Amino acid sequence: MSNVKHAIKLNYDTEWEYAPAPESTDHISLKDRYDLFIGGEFVAPKSGVYFDTINPANEKILASVAQAGAADVDRAVKAARGAYENVWSKMKPAERGKFIYRIARIIQERAREFAVIESMDGGKPIRESRDVDVPLAAAHFFYYAGWADKLDYAFPHKTPKPLGVAGQIIPWNFPLLMAAWKIAPALACGNTVVLKPAETTPLTAMKLAEVIQAADLPPGVVNIITGDGSTGASIVDHDGIDKIAFTGSTDVGKIIQRAVAGGDKKYTLELGGKAANIIFDDAPIDQAVEGVVNAIFFNQGHVCCAGSRLLVQESVAEEVVTKLKERMQTLIVGDPMDKNTDIGAINSAAQLERINAYLELGQKEGAAMYQAGGKTPKKGYWCRPTLFTDVSQSHRVVREEIFGPVLAIQTFRTLDEAVTKANNTQYGLSGGVWTDKGAKIFKVGQKIRAGVIWANTFNKFDPTSPFGGYKESGVGREGGLHGLSAYLNLH
Ligand code: NAI
Ligand code: MG
């Protein structure tokens, strides 16, 4: 306990200041250069081209990774096809399960290393990568490993059959976790995969490739290739791919949907969101305010299901906004490696530019903007937590996904008005309700057109629970039993 006293030093002019508590980085090893993981080994890209991935908190280069071209994609798909036909689809399901368990266990053993690399490459606070991303990634492998030999029980009266080769394209907001969401169910169902991480966060995927090697998976069952959108497009267009699983922007989701239209590739898409968090006047206000902070400032707002809109019942609006502003003042923006940090670095210069453009736009549209004070580091990409009030449905900051720590607040009088406002969006990924009344939770939960509704909490994930969107938030479900059926032919 004696350390606690020393860790906090009071700054009488402004606020409490915490002494830095940085996670050490000396236990990790990164190579200068990562090749493509194809057919169980690391191979140079045929193009010979590499690009850098940086740490967005200090703009330093961490490593360079290969830019896979169409010829590399072809090589990866062929490796996956061979492994599918000769080994993986023929293997006893219980044996497949053992390999997936092994991946889960190695991720757990190397959890600290994964968390540190995730925070360095992507900018998210170490607290989150340590407590959320990495444990959940392992949990997904554990969960789906358990299903591998029970598919007949999962789908009674059907004959579940794998689809073949899955092409999987993932974003930068939860790099390792998204890889786990994609790979675990695909393997459990007997498919093989070609996975492409996002260009700004490829390193935990390459570390996962090392885990897959260490777990002795048959070569070609999992192939991990790095590259930009053109690599993603080559995966989508490849004839040897049976299923596309994509998480990312709605714009790219639409491009993929057009590309696969008319063909027989199956697809699931997890796209954008503009979720509403609804606070009724009978809600426990302090918990609700904390929930809102978690819903939008968590992971810098780089969350597709973030609660980026807040709907507050008029009678408590002033109290909620005041408390929220007070809480925002105490949020620590800065070094992702510091265990005190609440809001880390914005993932890339491009993303920061997009967020800043929305901050300008919101003010031009006539909204009132409030930003918590405080310094941010000189190097790196930072955005302080931001609120917009005096907004209406027509404001673009209310309608469009910003993907940053930016919240738009509106008020309502009746339950029906709250539901109408919540549903007045092109998206439908998630939503939140804060109230003391169970009946109200069910009423609102049934009326909101979104894949996940949290009640008196937000951003809680579990591998057993399906996740996915309505409308422009996507097609299909991942997680739970639903996530299995997305990788099976069920006849
Ligand atoms: P993005 O959708 O371009 O990137 C996601 C993944 O798709 C990356 O791996 C990328 O290389 C790949 N990709 C890009 N173009 C492709 C194409 N034509 N075919 C196949 N794959 C392709 O997202 P970006 O540009 O990084 O972010 C833009 C906006 O998208 C963000 O501001 C945010 O609003 C939204 N976004 C939403 C995410 C979500 O989880 N729903 C995740 C990331 C971004
Ligand atoms: Mg990076």
**297 assigned to some structural domain:** yes
Residues enclosing ligand 1, CB less than 6 A? Answer: 169-171, 173, 196, 198-199, 228-229, 232-233, 236, 247-249, 252, 255-256, 271-272, 304, 351, 354, 401, 403
Which residue CA neighbors atom 19 of ligand 1 most closely?
A: 233
Please count the residues of the chain: 491
Using CA atoms in the order 319, 321, 323, 327, what is the torsion angle rounded to 10 degrees? 170
Q: How many structural domains compose the chain?
A: 2
Residues 267 and 280 in one domain: no
Which pair of tokens denotes residue 441?
């939770």
- Whether 343 and 26 have beta carbons less than 8 Å apart is answered as no
pLDDT digits (tens, 9 = 90+) for 202-219: 999 999 999 999 999 999
- Segment 383-402 mean pLDDT: 97
Answer whether residue 473 shows pLDDT above 60. Answer: yes
Contacts of residue 299, Cβ cutoff 8 Å, sequence gap at least 6: 124, 125, 128, 173, 174, 306, 344
**Is 21 part of any domain?**
no
pLDDT at 9 over 70: no
C-alpha 34/C-alpha 64 separation (Å) is 6
> Does the pLDDT at position 2 exceed 50?
no
Q: Which domain does 305 fall in, by range?
A: 276-455
What would the mean pLDDT of 460-481 be, rounded to a whole number? 95
Q: Look at residue 15 and tell me whether its pLDDT is greater than 70.
A: no
Give yes or no for residue 13 having a pLDDT over 80. Answer: no
Tell whether 330 and 182 lie within a shared domain: no
Ligand 1 test: best mutation among 238, 249, 459, most atoms within 8 Å of CB?
249
In a domain, residue 242? The reply is yes
Is the pLDDT at 74 greater than 50? The verdict is yes
What is the rounded distance in angstroms from the CA atom of residue 356 to the CA atom of residue 392? 20
User: Rounded to whole angstroms, how far apart are CA atoms 352 and 364?
Assistant: 18
281 and 310 housed in the same domain: yes
Average pLDDT value over all residues in the chain: 95
Residue 12 counted as domain residue: no
Q: Is residue 357 located within the same domain as residue 479?
A: no
Kindly state whether residues 254 and 315 are assigned to the same domain.
Answer: no
String of b and e for 427-445 (b: at least 16 CB within 10 Å)? bbbbbbbbbeeeebbebbe
Of the candidates 118, 128, 199, 270, the residue annotated as catalytic is 270
**Residue 14 binned pLDDT confidence (cut-offs 50, 70, 90):** low
pLDDT at 373 over 90: no
Distance CA 207, CA 83 (A): 21
The answer to whether residues 338 and 481 belong to one domain is no
Interval 332-336 mean pLDDT? 96
Q: Is 189 noted as a catalytic residue in this protein?
A: no
Do residues 168 and 192 make contact, with C-beta atoms less than 8 angstroms apart? no
Query: Per residue in 269-318, pLDDT tens?
Result: 999 999 999 999 999 999 999 999 999 999 999 999 999 999 999 999 99
Residues with CB under 5 A from ligand 2 (ion): 53, 121, 200
Residue 92 has pLDDT above 90, yes or no: yes
Q: Flag whether pLDDT at 199 surpasses 60.
A: yes
What percent of the chain lies above the pLDDT cut of 70?
A: 97
- Which whole number is the average pLDDT over 51-77? 98
> Which atom belonging to ligand 1 lies closest to the Cα atom of 196?
9
pLDDT value of position 181:
98
Strands (E), 330-464: 368-371, 386-389, 406-412, 430-434, 452-455
Contact 25, 120 (CB under 8 A): yes
CATH code, 85: 3.40.605.10
pTM of the model: 0.96
* Residue 96 located in a structural domain: yes
270 is catalytic: yes
Q: Are residues 304 and 391 in the same domain?
A: yes
pLDDT tier at 18, thresholds 50, 70, 90 = confident
Q: Are residues 91 and 139 in the same domain?
A: yes
pLDDT band, very low/low/confident/very high, at 189 (cuts 50, 70, 90): very high
Among 137, 150, 73, 153, CA closest to 105: 137
Average pLDDT rounded to a whole number, residues 30-54? 97
The reply to whether 265 and 355 lie within a common domain is no
Question: Does residue 436 belong to any structural domain of this protein?
Answer: yes
Do residues 50 and 65 make contact, with C-beta atoms less than 8 angstroms apart?
Answer: yes
CA atoms of 69 and 85, how far apart (whole Å): 24
CA dihedral 310, 316, 318, 324 (to 10 degrees): -50
Percentage of the chain modeled with pLDDT above 90: 95
pLDDT at 7: 46
User: Is position 28 within any domain?
Assistant: no
Q: What is the CATH number of the domain that holds 332?
A: 3.40.309.10
Q: Whose CA is nearest to atom 32 of ligand 1?
A: 403
Alpha-carbon span 319 to 491, nearest angstrom: 55
Q: What is the pLDDT of residue 361?
A: 98
Give yes or no: residues 200 and 237 share one domain: yes
> What was the pLDDT predicted at 136?
98
Distance 272 CA to ligand 1 centre (A): 10
- What is the Cα–Cα distance from 101 to 104, expressed in whole angstroms? 5
Question: How many CB atoms lie under 10 A from the CB of residue 354?
Answer: 15
